[in-house]
Chains A and B, each alone.
Chain A
Amino acid sequence: DAKTTQPPSMDCAEGRAANLPCNHSTISGNEYVYWYRQIHSQGPQYIIHGLKNNETNEMASLIITEDRKSSTLILPHATLRDTAVYYCIVTIKAAGNKLTFGGGTRVLVKP
């Protein structure tokens, strides 16, 4: 699986959009970008995934650059409950989803 690089931490104001970057410059053509988050004392929670097109669901939007070497997870209106560690993971489709979690970005939403 391709390696990902994320900032270790970031703060966000409640009600504002949170933009979480992820670099994956060695991504290959059949690798998906997945985002998970882990709220304190809970298991990781799936947020969204994509291959090359931008994706949106009820939780977030995923913007993938045209060259696919980086992506941004957007939480449109951050709430205090969005405080968590956010993991960006790149994995090939046929890997059986054995995901490798890196250090992630610790996001603190402040009132």
Chain B
Amino acid sequence: GAGVSQSPSNKVTEKGKDVELRCDPISGHTALYWYRQSLGQGLEFLIYFQGNSAPDKSGLPSDRFSAERTGGSVSTLTIQRTQQEDSAVYLCASSLVGQNNSPLHFGNGTRLTVT
């Protein structure tokens, strides 16, 4: 079946512009996660959605970052007034709800470059 899909795969934007990154999780997966990975670094947790519960936003680095998940499926991560330090690969993952040891399935990410 189809895996986690992210778009665009690459995005180049000018400093100060807003960007939207999209994630389509695996069908039936109601838990969704956003991570980011700076060049040569490990993964940094950003935000987590599970079902109808309030999202865990504890990893968002600033109020310029926000995410929403409409209809319990597709998610959009928005970065306002982008800065050069926002350049990174943004990874989305999904997993099954109700199975707490269910593994995460990751997409291949969106590579964001802020010039």
Known A49-B103, A96-B50: A41·B108 in contact at CB below 8 Å? yes
Q: Find B48's partner among A41, A42, A98 (CB 8 Å cutoff).
A: A98
Query: B69 at interface (Cβ–Cβ under 8 A)?
Result: no
Q: Do B42 and A97 have beta carbons less than 8 Å apart?
A: no
Q: Find B104's partner among A93, A97, A103, A104 (CB 8 Å cutoff).
A: A97
Residues of A within 8 A of B95 (CB): 97
Number of contacts between A and B (CB, 8 Å)? 55
* Chain B residue at minimal CB-CB distance from A45: B106
Query: B62 at interface (Cβ–Cβ under 8 A)?
Result: no
Residues of A within 8 A of B93 (CB): 43-44
Size range of the chain B interface in the assembly: 20 to 34
What does the 1/0 interface line of B62-78 toward A look like (CB < 8 Å)? 00000000000000000
Known A96-B31, A98-B33: A46·B101 in contact at CB below 8 Å? no
Q: Do A43 and B4 have beta carbons less than 8 Å apart?
A: yes
Query: B52 at interface (Cβ–Cβ under 8 A)?
Result: no
Residues of B within 8 A of A7 (CB): none
What does the 1/0 interface line of B39-53 toward A look like (CB < 8 Å)? 000110100101000
Q: Do B100 and A99 have beta carbons less than 8 Å apart?
A: no
**Of residues A43, A94, A95, A101, which shows the largest number of chain B Cβ atoms within 10 Å of its Cβ?**
A43
Q: Assuming A95-B100, A96-B56, A97-B100, what are 5 further A-B pairs, CB within 8 angstroms?
A: A36-B104, A96-B31, A97-B33, A97-B95, A101-B35
Q: 4 closest pairs, A vs B, by CB?
A: A43-B106, A46-B103, A101-B43, A93-B100
